[in-house]
Chains A and B, each alone.
Chain A
Amino acid sequence: MKQFNKSVIPKKFWAFLFLVSGICTASHSFAQDTDLNTFYPNQGQRLSDLMIQKALVPGLVDGYLPGIVLSRKNLVDKQTLKIRELKTQFAINSPTTPNYLAVLADDWVATGRQVLPSYDAQEMAAKPKIDPILDAGDSLFIPERRNSILYLGERKPCLVEHQPLVTIQAHLDSCFPKPNWYSFGQGFDKVWLVQPSGKIQVVKVGFWNASELVSPEPGAVIWAPQRNSSWTEELSSQLAQVLATQIGTFDFHAKAAADSETTKSLGSPDVTEESMASQILQRSEAPRDFGVRPTRSDWGNIGLMQTPNARMAEEGTVSVTASRVEPYSRYSFIYQPFEWMEAGFRYSIITNRSFGRADAGDRKYQDKSVDLKLRLLKESAYLPQIALGFRDIGGTGLFSSEYLVASKAAGEFDFSLGVGFGNMASGGGVSNPFSFINDDFRVRPAPDVGAGGQANSSAYFRGDASVFGGVEWQTPWRDWIVKLEYDGNDYSNEPLNNPQPHESHLNYGVVYRVNDIMDLQVGVERGNTFGVALSIQENIAKYSAPKLSDPPSIRVTSGKRPDTLDWQRTLKLIEQQTTWNVTDVEKRGAEVRLNVKNSDVTYAAKAANKASAVLHESLSEDVRWFSYKFDQRGLDVAEHIVDRDAYVTSETQLVPEQTTREPLVAIEPVSVPYSPVIQDKEPWYSGDLGLAYQQVFGGANGYLFEFSLVASGELQFNESTWLQGAVSHVLGGTFDNFSQTEESRLPQVRTNFRQYAVASDTKLSNLTINHVGELSQDHYYSLYAGYLERMFGGIGAEYLYRPFGSPVAFGIDINRVRQRAFEQDFNFQDYEVTTGHLTTYWDTGFEDILAEIKLGQYLAGDKGVTVDLSRIFNNGVQIGAFATKTNVSAEDFGEGSFDKGIYVKIPFDALFTSTVSGVADFTWNQVTRDGGARLGRPLRLYSQTQLRSPRVLGLEAYK
């Protein structure tokens, strides 16, 4: 194939010194090639080494490098079994297995192909994790470049010539045409694309779901089952996996050609060089799909302009939308905790009505509301996506509406049609479709909102209905989307006796996607009103920050280990790499154990990997196991054990998935004797200085904020008893304008937050003495006393039962507390209360939901229950909601009727360019009232024992 020039000229440089020199010194002797396109490695040779020796690199090689086939001796048996299983399936499903496919399968033999993430030897050389270490029986084959794509249909194969800009859909239409356009059940929804590299991609190709532009490369094979095929997804996937091992070595194209029609050339006369140039060059970036992508309405949820549709954002998305359509200004915060649920809250400002309180000055009327939308049915080829939604369910109900809406995509258009009730159906003129069930549905009772905040479910889906809907068109310019909608509301019955002039039910507008996170929408609504909305959205489940400021990672190498060891230096390096605090090192047989004190890292597996890299580079070969025992305030909560050999293998070479073993496991710490190796001296104090930010909005004073300097510190008396405190001093802000005072029928335990905010500039935020202990395995307790939080001080205790790795835990806390002085000094007021809860923690395993249910007495002496549900994503981001219902009536509770809120917690580690502990917590309480108020305890055993969670090793930075 190629004359090999032995003058490989390696150069070393600082970052890859070891790696490159390893390649340079590799043996240059190799087995004799039997085929010009086939190469054989020496035992233990790196693939990159073999390829560089043979000059098999881009720019020099003549064969088709992306189709490179690495055959591994140790994969042959496993693949033989897979082929046999597939053939058995073919036999079982013989009526549906195409004859030609069964014939082809007869000739398949196991190749042992290992799919490679890269075909570029020089990339592999820089990344050992993608560079396999080969055995003597392995081989490397460089196929010739092809210029055709083979489609495997359910009746026949079809060979097409590869042409730029011709899509898979066009190939399918040409290869397997429908008998007529209306043939039901014909067509394709998804295909299994096997690229020459062996990479498998499932591509959506239906008119309704085409969402990704994936290009088959020349030489690709595509399995294309019909829409209503009897082939299961599992069987299709199994076939694709076998095809991936055959492609490159098995000559599909030649063997299938006998059954195929003549090779099709779909190069349309329209596809000229000029048209290709204009299509390629006009793109602002790499080609992307032109299907409709969800955009937001004026109300912040996914929809058209005034009306919602059934679409959902990507799960993990958080959005903020500001819109203005006279006389409303709306600020909406919408979350997508699950792919089937959208929820959020909104502040609506009615700018032609005043706030209505003497202390609000000329401030305009504000309304708070909560929205919820649930997907009931996912779109399929013939059925639309259907969603059920509620608007303004948690506020005063001014805009209270319910709706059922369907969305159906067709190419670049997305149609929606729905029926709405309540405010969105004012003047709708459609009689209630549920009235055949009960006549009560004909009339919508006036909202009995009382103090607001109640679900007001007696009005749901009642009264006149209205049809709404419209279409979104993704224009050929990817940043522009056009919207046209029919709005069922005639604005004759707007709240606060505020009817709006209305000329048309038709609204139209355009969305400009400013960038990946920002959309600007402008349009004309009601036939006479200009509307504008700006949305910013981010998928926080994909948050991660490159660790530019961290010390460079230690590269894991193989080979002989050092003879001597400087433990002090090694521990210092581990602490730098992980941010751990290692107190001592012990040894037992072939295991070295590090005791880690008060670890608060977000990504435990990453820390264990980094520590293992340091230990592997430092310790002699006889150490086979590294273990890390976590001591949280004297409690031995977990131990993470690393199998050194498996770890090194996973870090230094590409191993076939079928042959890997897990290098890291978490276990309950074991009480067996270890020999001490070294002990590190621990400081008895620690401290921190930082900035704090507080804000208040949605009240009569509008938006208020304050910056403070916070100094916090801790003195440790022993490993399980310590004093901690924090002092804050106001640096600046607008809290001086905080004049809104609240009244309450309950003891004022939270509604006097204004007094706490403004009484003093310097405050003792908390000062407590704490002690924790372990009653027996799985049983923990804590005792604490002092100024527990900014409004209360006293004493308390907690007990927690948490078995290791269990999704369920139980806790009890009881506290006797007294209200602190507004100045937050050392003084107290007269109010005293006993508060505490029985808490059940359940990591449900369903959609990553953590449920916390609390039952007990709250700060105002009221008794009730709190339910807190949250989704925890793999990167540690948590989106949740809570609600508390106590024996306080809605009237006594005041505005909002009961306590509820939404929160987002983002680990700092996902935000910063350095590894840092802690969480950014954004909590929105609809209204701060006294009912259902919980004590802010300084110490929570559930948090202290977080390393016992079954999902702790699964948390990782988003890649």
Chain B
Amino acid sequence: MKGLAAVARTGLDAVMRNPLRSWAVVTCIAAVLTPFVAGLGISRGLADQAETAVAFGPDIHVTGERLGREVPIPIAAAAMVSDVPGVTGVVPRIVAAIRLGAGSRPAVLVGLPAAQFPVAAVSCVDGRLPAAGTTNELAVGSQLARQLDLDVGATIPPFYRNDREGERLSLVVGVFRSDLPVWEASLVLADLETAARIVDARGLVSDLLVSCPREYRRAVRAKIMQLGSLAPDDPQGPIRPSVLTREEALAMLPEGVLERERLFNLHFVLAFAVAILALMVTSGVGLSERRHETGILKALGWQTDEILVRGLVESAVLAAIGASLAVLLAFAWLGLMNGRGIASAFIAGADFAPGFDVPFRLAPEPILIAYVLSFVVTSVGSLLSTWRAATASPMDALA
């Protein structure tokens, strides 16, 4: 055992003996792994935020369906749903895609009854929350505010068309804080009436947010489905309710958020394949020094397995340094530089320099995989050449 430890220690010497090669290997590993670790970090951070979004969302989410597609539902359906036994509250909501500013920046308009905004929610914005009234009061997302140079008190020229009431200026009364979940970035929050005015769809909402005790969820879901139509008087036919409980929404999450992670992993499989070839060149194949060195060790009486242990230790040290550097660089990239450059690859709609706090979490499993991959890449590069030299006779190796 003592002999093995001594042999292993010579692996450290081998790292120091070829500083240029060692630096090249460490740099290659860090260069390949840093975006991999950073990307997976964002993916996990986003997945965590998505879980929170569902966990703190409505108990039951109701939308309308016609011709197999989502359609707006009449606001009167809120009363129908609130009459269902077990329902403790129904909040109608408008969620609409709009465009703002000279660059037609995409934004998400959300309209909710201002009277039902939680009091504590004022901490989410700089300024205040929008109120109901004839003025279009809006709270805008942090990235949108930065893109359009909006601040509290700014006015936005009419950006919509309303043939019945005409168009009006809108007033920014609040800007969302950048440390909230990412979906605030392009959000435009308004009172329900204001949102209805902007999208010119009076009496219609996108969805109903239903509250009910946990034990009644399944029964309430079934009862809402039995309503048959959310617009019974509509001459164009029924609008069928589409109901989603919180548990069902949670079950859908992994499919959506982590799909990008899988594609990202696929790209990195290709990157690692290239890295193995690159490291074979830099760390072993083609370097006559390694062959010469192995020949000397063999001539001094070293066994093949001892030479391989020495090579393994050298690879393990280089892999550990490279992977650790990658983790620290990814941490700095995401934490200090807010994922500049890489966030937009995972979060569609994010700027090169995101205007919001990029969520990230360096989960232990991908980090462990990064270390293992790093070791595999390094050892494949160096062990092959070491083994070929070690199995040759010392004369051949020294030739």
**Do chains A and B interact in one complex?**
no
